[in-house]
Chain A
Amino acid sequence: MKPEKIKWGMVIDLDLCIGCQACTVACKQENNIPFVSSDQARMGRAIQWNQFITTVEDPLPHTKVRYLPRLCNHCEHPPCVKVCPVEATYQNPEGLTAQIYTRCIGCRFCTVACPYGARFFNWYEPEWPDEMKSSLNPDVYIRTKGIVEKCTFCVQRIRAAKDKAKDEDRELKDGDVIPACVETCPTKARVFGNLADPHSEVSTLSRSRRALKLLEHLGTEPKVMYLTERTWNESL
């Protein structure tokens, strides 16, 4: 697969999702996402690239509780990229909304412009419990305080898979790149791959009758799609 033929995307089957949040944990582990105290979390300072949105509808006993894992949608028309004053976030040739941590000035214009709330800010110098410090992922940059971060579709894994394919002198094939959240999902609700390849699994699923995108009316064209028999929340 040549770079210009790649559009990375993900499909999440909400009918398979059991809301275990293993993806959130795996993502935190893989991407060196700092921990915050419960006080700070209550203030809304927790960083979860892969965050669960829970809605509770209707009173008991007919309660409907719904989960939706929300990550960066890597939009085709990202509202965050437009507003960045220093090009610290940009769309790369493979359709990822990439982040240049070393350039970000922390103005938070992108976090404000993102309609999905998928971007996070480091309010303090990142911290980990002592037990965690030895298990940080060496492939992922450790962010400093004062900059913005978000889901990268595990870009380090994409790079590793490409290197491997190159070593083996072959082209990247479907299923070569597996982000941490996809790897850990116990019900195989998540599929990652190349949307530009019409035969890839993710592409096939994205054309399903059950597919929907978040806040589609905003015209951002997310590359994360959800599969469900119903709308995940009547109001959206």
Chain B
Amino acid sequence: MSHYNDFPNDDTALINPLMKKSGRWYYFTIACLSAIVAWGLFSWGYQIRNGLGVTGMNSPIFWGIYIANFVFFIGISHAGTLISAILRVTQAEWRKPVTRCAEAITVFALMVGPINVIIDLGRVDRALNIIPFFKYGRFESPLLWDVCCITIYLLSSVTFLYLPLIPDIAMLRDKYTKRRWFYRILSLGWTGSPRQKKVLEKLMAIGTILIIPIAVSVHTVVSWVFAMTVQPMWHSTIFGPYFVVGAIFSGIASLIIAMAILRKTLHLEEYLKPIHFNYLGLLLLTMCLLWFYFTFAEYLTTFYGAEPEHMAVFYSKLGGEYTYYFIFMIVTCFVIPFIFLAPARLRTITGTVIASIAINIGMWLERFLIVVPTLSRPRLPYEHGIYHPTWVEFSIFAGEVATLCLLYVFFAKLFPIISIWELREKHEDEEATIKEKAVTTGSYEY
């Protein structure tokens, strides 16, 4: 297996997608994705016009797949910033070709995710009522915690994505004529002077540390929307960390899928190597085991305590109408990933991608299984409906996925998806780390 930091000396493979004329497949992809987005927008319009009755939601299942989607996309957003921050902090040198494609997922997933909550509103026209201080927003509601944390996370991830982009943008401005005005504005007058480099490094160091608690807070408060109520199998102290683990889990899986697609379509075989997939696969395996541990702990605690109200929800997932979903979730989130990720022989690009696709399906189901069964088993035995999502809900979901892909495609068209200047710096960096390691172990001598 080739070394993770051996890259070609010229970066034409990274520049080509930006500068060369776009091919037929590019326009075909854009057209398909735009059509799906347009269909999603139409469905949303239809829903606004007719009311939320066009969805399958009812009383008492007041929340459906919109809320599951919200949690799902926010989960995917943990692909990037958090992972790249952790890898930066731990000085994992193999991160370099991975960080930018990861951070871009974060930013776009964070743009798409919260739209679900707005779509879910009965009165979209009053959405701005939620603004605190100026309107009626009140901080006692966990929904406001979400609004605050997600806003901060979005702003900081955009910054975190943008800062290391600046040297690359400046390079594009200097070397190429295409879109020069655009790159000139965005490069903020970067010349690569030592002072500028120092400032950038400092800002990145601060950002790396700050982004970790922010990212953790985001998925924690998303879980608290559920956990702060008194409903059976929501009111659980484990929910915060459980959601954070689930988020990183599905985040890494999304990253692997994105990387595999980029590798194939942009011909980045020399940059995104099997060893990167192997390392990410190991991280994914860790999260897989953690996720299983949390799930097991959650369900065993419920089962052993055996409170009737909790058991009603429990049995809806194990024996009731959600049994197949539950089994499918365990298979896709644990069995398949474990089979493909645990043996080193199968931890190839294909292996990790199969595991990742399974995980993303499974983690969507996990969110569905958190939102819906609890609502379907109210404490009082009144008459209640059954939830079947309608075409409107599925169309809007498809539109959201397409929006995320579209934004990502545009990003990859405008900016190098792999950080070029960071790759160039590899040798100096590596020497520094080797020295540092040697000093700390005491084996280094001048």
Q: Are B143 and A55 in contact (CB under 8 A)?
A: no
The interface size of chain B toward A, counting residues with CB under 8 Å, comes to 46
Assuming the contacts A85-B137, A105-B129, asked whether A124 and B50 have C-beta atoms less than 8 A apart, the reply is yes
Q: How far is the CA of A124 from the CA of B47 in the complex (A)?
A: 10
Bound-state Cα–Cα, A86 to B201, Å = 41
Alpha-carbon distance A217/B445, docked complex (angstroms): 69
Is A105 touching B378 in the complex (CB atoms < 8 A)? no
C-beta contact mask, B88-124 vs A, less than 8 Å → 1, else 0?
0000000000000000000000000000010011110
Whether the Cβ atoms of A111 and B126 lie closer than 8 Å is no
Kindly report which residue of chain A lies nearest to residue B378, judged by CB atoms: A117
What's the least CB distance linking B34 to chain A, in Å?
29
**A120 to B122, alpha carbons, bound, how many Å?**
12
Which of A53, A83, A108 is close to B380, meaning CB atoms less than 8 Å apart?
A53
CA distance A105 to B386 in the complex (A): 24
Report Cα–Cα, A88/B379, bound state, in Å.
Answer: 25
Cβ B126 vs Cβ A105 within 8 A: yes
Which one, A3-11, A39-47, A185-193, is touching chain B?
Answer: A39-47
Shortest distance between the CB of B51 and any CB in chain A (Å): 4
Report B397 CB to chain A, min CB distance, Å. 19
The answer, among B58, B142, B231, for a CB contact under 8 Å with A43, is B58
The yes or no answer to A153 lying at the interface (CB within 8 A) is: no
A45/B117 in contact, CB under 8 A? no
> Which residues of chain A in 62-79 are interfacial with respect to chain B, using CB atoms and an 8 Å cutoff?
70, 79
Q: Are B141 and A83 in contact (CB under 8 A)?
A: yes
Tell me whether B383 is interfacial, beta carbon within 8 Å: yes
- Contacting residues, chain A, for B384 (C-beta < 8 A): 44, 117
Cβ contact within 8 Å between B141 and A116: no
Q: Are B379 and A215 in contact (CB under 8 A)?
A: yes
* Pair A111/B380 contact, Cβ less than 8 Å: no
B7 at the A interface (CB under 8 A): no
Tell whether, in the assembled complex, residue B141 and residue A82 are in contact, meaning their CB atoms are under 8 Å apart. yes
CB distance from A37 to the nearest CB of B (A): 11
Most buried by A among B53, B62, B138, B384: B62
Q: Is B213 an interface residue, CB under 8 A from the partner?
A: no
CA separation between A236 and B380, bound complex, in Å? 9
Complex contact A106–B123 (CB within 8 A): yes
Q: Mark A8-44, 1 if CB is under 8 A from B, else 0.
A: 0000000000000000000000000000000010111
Inside 8 A of B308's CB, which chain A residues have their CB? Answer: 235
A141 at the interface (CB under 8 A from B): no
Identity of the chain B residue whose Cβ is nearest the Cβ of A233 in the assembled complex: B381
Among the listed B62, B381, B386, which residue makes an inter-chain contact with A108, where contact means beta carbons less than 8 Å apart?
A: B62
Residue A165 lies at the interface, judged by CB distance under 8 Å to chain B: no
**Cα distance A40–B382 in the bound complex, in angstroms:** 16
Give every chain A residue within 8 A of B383 (Cβ-Cβ). Answer: 44
**Interchain CB contact under 8 A, B136 and A106:** no
Total A residues in contact with B, Cβ cutoff 8 Å = 48
**Contact residues of B: prevailing secondary structure:** loop
The answer to whether B59 and A83 touch across the interface, beta carbons within 8 angstroms, is no
If A43-B58, A123-B52, A145-B51 touch, whether A108 touches B385 (CB-CB below 8 Å) is: no
Q: Is the pair B138, A105 in contact by a Cβ cutoff of 8 Å?
A: no
Task: Take A40-B53, A55-B381, A105-B121 as given contacts and tell me if A85 and B59 are in contact as well, using a CB distance cutoff of 8 Å.
Answer: no
Q: A43-B58, A45-B58 are in contact. Are A84 and B127 (CB under 8 A)?
A: no
B63 touches A117 (CB 8 A): no
Contact of A88 among B58, B60, B136 (CB under 8 A): B136
A103 at interface by CB-CB < 8 Å: yes
A82-120 contacts to B (CB < 8 Å): 82-88, 103-109, 111-113, 115-117, 120
User: With A43-B58, A112-B229 in contact, do A53 and B382 touch (Cβ < 8 Å)?
Assistant: yes
Flag whether B216 is at the interface (Cβ < 8 A). Answer: no
- Provided the pairs A83-B142, A109-B143 are in contact, do residues A121 and B136 lie with their beta carbons within 8 angstroms? no
B60 touches A44 (CB 8 A): yes
In chain A, what residue has the closest Cβ to B135? Answer: A86
**Distance of A120 Cα from B60 Cα, bound (Å):** 9
- Is the Cβ of B375 less than 8 Å from the Cβ of A112? yes
How does the 8 Å CB contact mask read for B66-106 relative to A, with 1 for contact and 0 for none? 00000000000000000000000000000000000000000
Q: Does B130 contact A (CB under 8 A)?
A: yes
CB-CB nearest 3 A-B residue pairs: A106-B122, A44-B385, A146-B122
Residues of A in contact with B (beta carbons under 8 Å apart): 40, 42-46, 51, 53, 55, 70, 79, 82-88, 103-109, 111-113, 115-117, 120-125, 144-148, 214-215, 218, 233, 235-236
Q: Enumerate 29 A-B pairs (CB-CB under 8 Å) in ascending A order.
A: A40-B53, A44-B384, A44-B385, A46-B59, A79-B230, A82-B140, A83-B141, A83-B229, A84-B138, A85-B143, A85-B147, A86-B137, A105-B121, A105-B130, A106-B123, A106-B126, A107-B120, A108-B120, A112-B63, A113-B230, A113-B231, A117-B60, A117-B380, A117-B384, A121-B59, A125-B51, A144-B123, A146-B121, A147-B122
Q: Could you list 6 further interchain pairs (A-B, Cβ under 8 angstroms) beyond the known A82-B141, A109-B142?
A: A51-B382, A86-B137, A107-B121, A108-B62, A115-B379, A146-B121
